């Protein structure tokens, strides 16, 4: 066991009175359920754990992050009767839509670009309230963000809505009115941290990570009291300067797997997206990101696994203490993050009941891990083009790397698959207990990797130590052809860790997230369409154009009617929330 983290950091929680200026757009209306402020049902720990089918109270609907709903009014026999119930244009644009909406007490809560938060009547799409923190983009002096001014959604607990903001703040808004209750700066001011992920709730705290590894930061995860915003605990994902002492025994052990002066460029390991929570085990699961810089021979001369980069961490929900870890990509050299969505499942494997965590990170392998102990169970490729490793050693759980993969150690550039965008990225996968399948939005990608020989850390700029588009010291080899489709939905059996069916996408419109339901359906965003497939066969049953850049669909029930919603549409079409129901 590791010692609890030292809690010696100061916390600044701003009062409501001094935050009035933050609500640059504020339109409070009566609640959609017809109740006045203060009368709505509170969302407590039991409600989150129970995950009532009629609502969508957390990012994955349940805290296991399955993105599955047992609702079956809409099913494979009548899905072709779906019609638009309502749509609402999001008034803030400028980035992709990646949010998964939540629905509670008849109100939908979601986010748009630039950390814009809004609440809608889930029956009609009428605006209930909206809140814009007024964060400018990077060109106008806003925070440096790796990959767009996106936001993946909010969390609900008690009478509050929680959102992470691009500039590193975490804000609690009144669920009924949208007024600011408290706000805390979760990241060091003036440094290149950002928040694009959705918060999660665990053991009475709101959990949030951050991004920015490309700019040279040190990753961490923080838990804040849901009521007051006071810091409950903070867990770093990579070690800092040993001369400053270590925050925990886990950090001391991690430092033994690093070399050189890695702390100068931060080390990376940012937890910018995925979390899950097991209330019975009282464990928070965290996916960590790539190193800073990418290239290990610059970051950690002489090698090393560089814990806890590209890893799944299991943390004690009460104090953030590390319980176990599994590293999906030891000594990451390729931006193969483990920040991709994961889920908690109870499966029978080889005749034994197993409580597992499954994840398909960027590196192209689908992992099944014991979620109580961290024991490796299986790891198999889910993409067609995986060339950096030939497999996962079943005894050690470590990848069997291809000879050309370590482009820095070899001092020889190479085309490798996947590329930095990964074989799977931020798009949520979904589970269906009736079919026993995981529905994974996958892609085949590749990139040229070559070490930068004259690397110098530059504040405020990408610091990868790797060139991926040429311009290196050597002539690039000929680009190999991809063997599989650019994007596809893969239905995978996690018990046998094998593919059952796939549905390739036409062209390269880009994947969205997935939803599975008790109606034998899989809803998938892809390109500019929402597509519905038969969950058992993969046959396409229905589709509709919703605009380029689809996010992740959800489903809920109101007044006996089932609805499906998705955020979609880019700058060209205008971002919108679309909601569908059966024609009546």
CA distances from 47 to 52, 428, 545 (A): 7, 22, 34
Helix (H, G, I), strand (E, B) or coil at 462: coil
Q: φ and ψ at 447, to 5 degrees?
A: -155, 155
Q: Is 481 exposed, middle or buried (0-12, 13-18, 19+ CB in 10 A)?
A: exposed
Q: What strands lie across the sheet with 365-370, from one edge to the other?
A: 342-349, 352-359, 365-370, 376-381
User: What are 358's two structure tokens?
Assistant: 């499954």
How far apart CA 51 and CA 70 sit, in angstroms, is: 10
Name which of 226, 231, 250, 232 is nearest 240 in CA terms.
250
Specify whether the CB–CB gap between 7 and 233 falls below 8 A. yes
Specify whether the CB–CB gap between 206 and 197 falls below 8 A. no
Strands 322-327 and 291-292: unpaired
Alpha helix (H) residue ranges in 13-139: 45-50
How far apart CA 485 and CA 441 sit, in angstroms, is: 12
How far apart CA 450 and CA 471 sit, in angstroms, is: 9
Strands 414-416 and 275-278: unpaired
CA distances from 174 to 141, 169, 195, 357 (A): 29, 16, 21, 33
How far apart CA 194 and CA 217 sit, in angstroms, is: 10
Three-state SS sequence of 226-269? CCCCCEEEEEECCCCCHHHCCCCHHHHHHHCCCCCCHHHHCEEC
Beta-carbon contacts of 459 under 8 Å, excluding residues fewer than 6 positions away, are 192, 216
- Residue 460 is given by DSSP the state T
Alpha helix (H) residue ranges in 34-185: 45-50
The CA dihedral of 315, 319, 320, 321, to the nearest 10 degrees, is -70
Active site residues: 335
Name which of 417, 389, 406 is nearest 486 in CA terms.
417
Specify whether the CB–CB gap between 151 and 164 falls below 8 A. yes
Specify whether the CB–CB gap between 253 and 290 falls below 8 A. no
């Amino acid at each position: 066991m590791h010692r609890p983290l030292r809690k010696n950091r100061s916390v600044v929680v701003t009062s409501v009175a001094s935050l009035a200026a933050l609500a640059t757009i504020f339109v409070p209306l009566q609640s959609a359920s017809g109740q006045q402020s203060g009368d709505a049902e509170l969302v407590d720990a039991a409600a989150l754990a129970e995950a009532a089918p009629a609502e969508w109270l957390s990012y994955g609907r349940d805290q296991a992050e399955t993105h599955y709903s047992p609702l079956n009014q809409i099913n494979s026999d009548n899905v072709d009767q779906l019609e638009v119930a309502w749509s609402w244009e999001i008034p803030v644009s400028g980035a992709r839509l990646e949010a998964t909406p939540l629905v509670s007490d008849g109100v939908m809560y979601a986010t748009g670009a630039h950390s814009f938060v809004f609440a809608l009547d889930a029956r009609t799409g009428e605006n209930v309230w909206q809140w814009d923190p007024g964060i400018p983009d990077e060109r106008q002096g806003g925070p440096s963000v790796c990959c767009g001014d996106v936001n993946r959604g909010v969390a609900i607990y008690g009478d509050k809505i929680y959102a992470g903001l691009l500039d590193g703040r975490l804000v609690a808004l009144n669920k009924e009115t949208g007024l600011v209750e408290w706000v805390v700066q979760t990241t060091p001011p003036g440094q290149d941290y950002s928040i694009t992920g959705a918060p999660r709730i665990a053991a009475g705290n709101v959990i949030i990570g951050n991004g920015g590894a490309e700019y040279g930061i040190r990753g961490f995860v923080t838990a804040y009291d849901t009521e007051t915003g006071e810091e409950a605990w903070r867990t770093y994902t990579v070690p800092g300067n040993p001369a400053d002492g270590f925050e925990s025994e886990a950090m001391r052990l991690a430092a033994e797997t690093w070399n050189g002066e890695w702390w100068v460029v931060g080390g990376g390991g940012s937890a910018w997206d995925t979390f899950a929570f097991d209330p019975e085990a009282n464990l928070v699961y965290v996916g960590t990101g790539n190193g800073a810089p990418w290239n290990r021979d610059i970051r950690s001369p002489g090698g090393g696994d560089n814990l806890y980069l590209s890893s799944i961490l299991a943390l004690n929900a009460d104090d953030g203490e590390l319980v176990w870890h599994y590293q999906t990509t030891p000594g990451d050299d390729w931006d193969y993050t483990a920040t991709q969505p994961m889920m908690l499942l109870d499966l029978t494997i080889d005749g034994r009941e197993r409580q597992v965590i499954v994840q398909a990170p960027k590196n192209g392998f689908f992992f099944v891990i014991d979620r109580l102990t961290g024991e490796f169970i299986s790891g198999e490729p889910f993409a067609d083009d995986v060339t950096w490793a030939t497999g996962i050693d079943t005894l050690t759980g470590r990848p069997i790397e291809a000879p050309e993969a370590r482009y820095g150690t070899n001092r020889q550039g190479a085309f490798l698959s996947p590329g930095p965008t990964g074989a799977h990225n931020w798009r949520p996968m979904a589970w269906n207990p009736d079919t026993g399948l995981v529905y994974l939005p996958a892609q085949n990608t590749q990139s040229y990797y070559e070490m930068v020989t004259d690397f110098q850390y530059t504040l405020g700029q990408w610091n990868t130590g790797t060139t991926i588009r040429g311009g290196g010291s050597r002539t690039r080899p000929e680009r190999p052809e991809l063997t599989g489709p650019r994007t596809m939905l893969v239905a995978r059996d996690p018990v046998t860790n094998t593919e059952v069916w796939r549905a390739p996408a036409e062209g390269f419109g880009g994947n969205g997230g997935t939803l599975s339901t008790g109606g034998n359906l899989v809803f998938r965003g892809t390109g500019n369409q929402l597509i519905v497939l038969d969950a058992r066969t993969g046959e396409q049953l229905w589709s509709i154009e919703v605009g380029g850049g689809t996010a992740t669909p959800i489903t809920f029930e109101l007044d006996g009617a089932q609805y499906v919603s998705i955020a979609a549409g880019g700058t060209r079409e205008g971002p919108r929330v679309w909601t569908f129901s059966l024609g009546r």
